[in-house]
Each structure stands twice: as structure tokens, then as C-alpha cells.
Structure 1
């Protein structure tokens, strides 16, 4: 999988100034456009669109400093329709405008060309199971929260507190299948991004075959395959690291790809709420 991703990155670099065709990149990587975006964002730490923008402005800066072409010609080459739009984007990345950079020799910012390599960090195997689930419902209470890759997510804490223990307790008897009990479910609002601060649709509730009671949000999830992972560790990092490791280690090493849908997390806390047992359910399909 990593070799195919790098082939796609080679193609992207050769056509970096052209309009990005995500379908072509996904075809080279032998995966779906949705999974390619998700994989890239997880591995690179930024959306594909942000990487392309930064690479274009890196190459444009080289041409600006070379001084062989006019600024408008450079702007058009890298996808900007006017000097003004180019100058704004250039300043946002480099801290100075292109005309000033050409005059002053100010230090600029470079986005290196990106390739992906597998780094072995330990010998502990990642256990998983693949589950075929019929259509089911997510019943609960929803909001939008920002992604926090490590540490406390204040927005989630405030939302769960606002829902309250009693309302969640009333939903719990409706849990009639795996993953059982009260769960959280997230779904990125922008499929191309898992960057820090990106918004996700967040639901706290249960997995059920029953219709939603009055005042409760219902999300019908179609039948499909789910990859299920388990970990135990400190809260909240255990779940955050599990999510990270699945996208950066498991997907590149296994013949599955993520598909659009909610990502469901079941957690059980220790008595002092410092440790947690986590089960992560991700919708997948076989990467034929």
C-alpha cells in the first residue's frame, strides 16, 4: 500500500501545477478517493489540499527568487488568477509578499516533497476482527466538535456534561447489539481532513435496532463490514493513539480501506477514570 501511495505522490509532483484529480491519484494507489484522502491526511498530518497549496507556493518561491519570470506569470502557473490572490497566499505561507521576497532576500518557508515510509516502533501486534453488521441505528444526542489528536477535548467534555447522565441512562436499555452500552460516534464533516481542529459530527448514544424516542437523534447506518480494534491505557490518550495507529499502521499493511460512515468508540473507565478500555469500530471494505 505504501508503494502505491508513493507512486501517486510521484504523479502528483509531476503535475503539481495542474488541477489535482483525486480520482487519478486514487486509481494509482488502487483505492477509493475517499480512502486516499483519509489515508493521506492521517499519514501526512494535513489535508491533501493543504499539502498541494504549500508545495505550489514552495516551487513558486523558487521562481520568484530566480527572477527570470514576471510575478503574474508565476501566479498563473501555480493556479492564481491575479497578482493580488497570489500575494495573499504567498504572504500567508512565507510571511512576506512575492515582490518583497524578490527584493530583500528574506528567509522563506519550504514544504518538502513528501514520501511515505514504514517505521517500525515496536513488536507488539495489533489485534483486530472484521464484523459483518446488518443495518442498524445510532440513537443519541449530537453536536459538532473539533478534532484533538492528543489530550483533553474540552468541547466533548462540555457537550457530554450538557447531555447529562440521566438522559444517557434512559437510552442504555435500547442498546441491543455490538458495540453495547453507551458509545460515541464521530464522522468527519470534511472527508479530506483529519487535521487538528477540523470539525467532526459527534454523537453520544447507543447502537440499536429500535426507532429513536422523541427528542433523540437517529442515524441509520447501512449494512457493511466493520474493523474492530481494542486497546487499554490512560484516558484519553489510549483511544487517540489507537485511532492514529489504525490509520498510519494498520490500513497501509492490510487489504482494507475506510469507507464513509460513523466511527464508533466504546469506552469503559477505571474507578478513578484515569485508565480506559477502548473498542474502536471503523466502517471498511476489502481493498480488492
Structure 2
């Protein structure tokens, strides 16, 4: 798999959160449904203080992992400059800087986008991670949705950021 290593500084994010589980593939059903609800209700318009202004970059952030129960929190949101005047129903989080392996999903049609994203995650964890010189750093991972997957495009793709550290480091 092709990837690049990126150092991303700490950042603030504002968004909507869902607690989900990896057990029985619950997250693979709940997260796409959560995205549909987010998009259909135009929730992105309610996110203030955006870093990316007129060209919004949406993030799907997996954080607050509980390995025992197999649960984690998934946030759909955007990078924010500050947390002033944030509506009550939105979560405000600060994420530490980290080194990431960044993977880009294959170009696909919007109809197959969700399954392409899930297949890329699976390939990263089952085929790349065990054989790479890196291991998961145990910090939040996220999806980066920019203009490459904007509405109206016939071919779409996005990036997946996996926090990494060298094995044995």
C-alpha cells in the first residue's frame, strides 16, 4: 500500500459525536448511518470557527478507545480556530500532535465510497500494519474529507490518518 508519513501539529475540532463498538461490526453500520444523518440534516453549517473557511474539510475522528469493551467515540467535525460561541449540542476536542501514516482511498463512485473507505481501513489494519516498520501509536486516528469528495463529483476519494511510531521505539 502506498502511504506517506506526515507530522500533524495539535489541533482543535468541533463536531458531532457517536459512541460505537467494533463488536459484531456495529461501527461499520453506525458510522455510515451517522454520516447520512449529518449530511441530510446539513449539520456542517452549524460548526463555527472553521479553520478551512470556504473550502470545508470534514474530519471523521476515532478517539477515546476502550480496548476492553471494544468501544470508541467517532466525531464528525471540522478543525477549529477556537471554541468560542459553540452550540451546546456540539463537542469541542483538542487533539495532540502526532506522526501519521496517511493512506488515500482508491477513486470510486459516490455509491461505492462507504465500502471503499471500509475496505481501505481493513487493508491498513490487516495487510499493511502487521508487515510495516510501524505500529499504531495508540492515539486518535482520523479520516480527512476535502474537495476530492465534494457533492457532485463522479469520482471520489479521501485520506485516512493512522498515528504511528516505529516498532520497538
Query: Smaller-chain TM-score range?
Result: 0.7 to 0.9
Secondary structure of 2:43's counterpart equals helix
Q: CA deviation at 1:205?
A: 0.4
Give the structure 2 partner of residue 133 of structure 1. 8
Give deviations 1:46-100, integer Å, cap 9, x for gaps: xxxxxxxxxxxxxxxxxxxxxxxxxxxxxxxxxxxxxxxxxxxxxxxxxxxxxxx
* Closer, same or farther: CA 168–226 of 1 in aligned 2, 3 Å: same
Query: Corresponding residue for 1:187?
Result: 63
> In structure 1, what is the equivalent of residue 152 of structure 2?
271
Question: Within the alignment, does 1:282 sit opposite 2:130 as a pair?
Answer: no
Following the alignment from structure 2 to structure 1, what is the Cα–Cα distance between the partners of residues 51 and 164? 22
Q: TM-score, normalised by structure 2?
A: 0.73
Looking at both structures, which has the greater relative contact order when contacts are Cα pairs under 8 Å and sequence separation is at least 6? Answer: 2
Structure 1 unaligned residues grouped into runs of 5+: 1-125
Alpha-carbon RMSD across the aligned residues, in angstroms, is: 3.3
Between Structure 1 and Structure 2, which shows a larger proportion of strand residues? 2
Does residue 205 of the first structure (1) align with residue 85 of the second (2)?
no
| Contact 1:258-1:284 at 8 Å conserved across structures | yes
Counterpart Cα distance in 1 of 2:99 and 2:28: 30
Q: Figure out how many residues of one structure are paired with residues of the other and give that number.
A: 156
TM-score of the aligned structures, taking structure 1 as reference length: 0.46
Gaps of 5+ in 2: none
The worse-fitting range, judged by mean Cα deviation, of 277-286 and 205-214 is 205-214
Pair 220,279 (structure 1): closer, same or farther in 2 beyond 3 Å: same
Match of residue 44 from structure 2: 168
Q: In the alignment, is the contact (CA less than 8 A) between 1:231 and 1:239 conserved in 2? A: yes
Bigger share in helix: 1
Asked if the contact 1:176/1:209 (under 8 Å) is kept, the reply is no
Please tell me whether residue 219 in structure 1 is matched to residue 86 in structure 2.
Answer: no
CA contact (8 A) 1:133 1:224 kept: yes
Change (3 A) 1:252 1:205: same
Q: 1:19 — aligned with what? A: none
Cα drift, residue 136 of structure 1 = 0.7
